[in-house]
Amino acid sequence: MFKKKSIWDKPFSEKIAKRVRKIHTTELEMWIEQATYELGRCMSIYSRNHDVAALEEALTGAEALHAVVNELYARTNKTTV
């Protein structure tokens, strides 16, 4: 069903990437858990009310979440290589 594609280019700004690089690894992991919860909350609000503000918040959160997961992945690959 899902095929491995080439590495996805960063769909987030360099400003976000720089801020994420400064966060300690254990904090990244906690941030991912919290952001996932918040994304789910925003999507739940959107599905009930079709509130565009909740969808915009989810989009911003998803961008930041991707930056954090990307950074954690990069750090993990450096330690396993």
Contact 56, 71 (CB under 8 A): no
Q: What is the pLDDT of residues 46-61, one digit of tens each?
A: 999 999 999 999 998 9
Give dist(CA 44, CA 28) in Å, integer: 24
The tokens describing 53, both together, are 């503000």
Give the CA radius of gyration of the chain: 14
pLDDT of 6 strictly over 60: no
Q: Which one-letter DSSP state was computed for residue 13?
A: -
pTM of the model: 0.75
Half-sphere exposure of 4 (CA within 13 A, CB side): 0
pLDDT in tens, 26-79: 999 999 999 999 999 999 999 999 999 999 999 989 988 999 999 999 999 876
